[in-house]
Structure 1
């Protein structure tokens, strides 16, 4: 049996995708691979592999301990993806970015959730052969599709009416494209908009002051329910007609996989990373004008919505727990064998 130390503080801040991805992996390994993998969390014990999910400084110091085994780093973000997320003044921003890459270079091997980030890491001086792509996934037990009649019940439960409904999920920050989401609500007053998420990092959030004013006094057709617990977030996907993620920068958003798992059609801002991971499973839009046009068309096209629901279910099957547990088992086995 392979001994694995997991090091993470990803679940210490609510409402962020890093925490969701970490919790999904821990649950998967402990329920489906417990006969092959001995997983501990935040314990300094002798192990075959130590897997770092966050870049806390005490974890950096622990990388100098030889008994922790092979060091695996999970790349949930790089300097480029932090732009527009947090307000970090200079020179602290440059120092943190340098530290982040230094942390990754302390690892024996890295895991990325999107293959397009391998060349970006290579540009920072990390050898591509030391990087493996393993996608995110979500639990079908937590994120599932409900029958059409139940969707109506959910709208009544959360006090939403029968209008065409667009859902956004994630931290309220400039990088997520929340300003465009707000603009769409203003342009489409007959459409119902919901953004499930909050200011996970408070005033450090980029665009906090301006966004907070709108969140406190939004357009009549836009609601901000705040950070929604995962056991209720599934309801929001199911009561919506379309999931829209207008982010300017991402790696592999958990919210897209959650949407797929509930059979909810997906629209995203056109980014280079999406064709590599979900090509043909979404509608892309280059800017707010195109998002507006696409939403107007979808509202009038039940056939297109049905097609997008079908491809969402296909994507959910591809990024399933059954497939990913095998990939992780084989990855850990290979890393442990190479170290020996």
Structure 2
């Protein structure tokens, strides 16, 4: 068996996609590949492969031990993406950015969730042949179409009418997520209910925290902020909605998109180049708040158009199935053993 150690502190912070991606990979390996992998979580035991999901200092120091075997780093962010999310003191920011790159360069191999990051890592001096692209995925066991009773119950929890058209936004409340645009579009469509599932996962470190907090505390009448939800609650959130709307300005491969598609919910996303090579024709896109509002209005009024958009999302869910991505991870891990001999007790 391949001795595989997972190192992660992602689940200490609720409401972030890094933790969701980590849990999905662990779950599928435990359920469907237990015959091939001796999987350990944060044990620091001798391993053939150590997969680092977060960049904790103790993990960086551990990477120098031969017990770690082959070091694999998961790239969820780069310095420029942190800039859009957190407000850090200038000196600490410079030190932290150097540390991020030092951590990545310490790894034998890196895995990115969006192919656009391969070029960006190369600009930081990391060889392309050390970087692999493996997209995120979600399990149908955790995210699938729910019942009418579940849909109604979730709507009642947030005082949303049963027959209302509901637009869902999901993720951390940050400027880069397009929360201000989400609110502006909601003001243009006052008869439609808008729900944002997520909160301030990093508290006052969040860029624009003071401004965003005021808006969350005083939203328009047709906007509902749920706060941070447990991940198992998100299935009910998607199924209570009619559409996932993400006006985010910068993303990698959001788990929210995969979760919504797995629940057979259509997608309306900002027209970003980084989506083109990963989401193909699985979604509707727009670039302005006027266009967002017009597309949402059409999805509400035109049932045929709505159903076509649902079918495209279903194609996306099938394409990013856990079965296919398990095969990709298995092939990747197996290929690493050619670099170094396996650990023998």
The bucket for the TM-score relative to the shorter chain is over 0.9
Give how far 1:184 is off: 1.2
Provide the residue aligned with 1:186 in structure 2.
Answer: 187
Is this contact kept in 2: 1:241–1:265, CA < 8 A?
Answer: yes
Deviations 1:113-147 (A, max 9, x none): 11111111111101111111101001111110135
Q: Which moves more between the two structures, 142-151 or 90-99?
A: 142-151
Provide the residue aligned with 2:28 in structure 1.
Answer: 28
Is this contact kept in 1: 2:155–2:240, CA < 8 A?
Answer: yes
Say if 2:243 is the partner of 1:238: no
Deviations 1:268-306 (A, max 9, x none): 111111011111000111122221221122221111110
TM-score (norm 1): 0.97
Name the CA distance, whole Å, in 2 between partners of 1:288 and 1:55. 36
Say if 2:120 is the partner of 1:108: no
Name the CA distance, whole Å, in 1 between partners of 2:84 and 2:30. 35
Structure 1 counterpart SS, 2:39: strand
Name the CA distance, whole Å, in 1 between partners of 2:106 and 2:125. 12
Provide the residue aligned with 2:333 in structure 1.
Answer: 332
Name the CA distance, whole Å, in 2 between partners of 1:89 and 1:69. 36
Is this contact kept in 2: 1:83–1:175, CA < 8 A?
Answer: no
Name the CA distance, whole Å, in 2 between partners of 1:230 and 1:181. 22
Give how far 1:10 is off: 0.6
Name the CA distance, whole Å, in 2 between partners of 1:62 and 1:149. 49
Provide the residue aligned with 2:18 in structure 1.
Answer: 18
> Which 5+ residue runs of structure 1 have no aligned equivalent?
none
Structure 2 counterpart SS, 1:273: helix
Provide the residue aligned with 1:145 in structure 2.
Answer: 145
Provide the residue aligned with 1:211 in structure 2.
Answer: 212
Provide the residue aligned with 1:80 in structure 2.
Answer: 80
Give how far 1:152 is off: 4.4
Q: CA RMSD in A?
A: 1.3
Aligned residues: 340
Structure 1 counterpart SS, 2:207: coil
User: Where do residues 190-339 of structure 1 align in structure 2 (5 Å cutoff)?
Assistant: 190-339=191-340
Provide the residue aligned with 1:121 in structure 2.
Answer: 121
Say if 2:97 is the partner of 1:97: yes
Name the CA distance, whole Å, in 2 between partners of 1:201 and 1:280. 33
Name the CA distance, whole Å, in 1 between partners of 2:223 and 2:9. 32
Is this contact kept in 1: 2:150–2:236, CA < 8 A?
Answer: no
Provide the residue aligned with 1:5 in structure 2.
Answer: 5
Is this contact kept in 2: 1:6–1:53, CA < 8 A?
Answer: yes
Name the CA distance, whole Å, in 2 between partners of 1:153 and 1:213. 28
Deviations 1:138-197 (A, max 9, x none): 111111013567634543454311221100000011111111111111121111000000
TM-score (norm 2): 0.95
Provide the residue aligned with 1:62 in structure 2.
Answer: 62
Structure 1 counterpart SS, 2:14: coil
Name the CA distance, whole Å, in 2 between partners of 1:65 and 1:109. 16
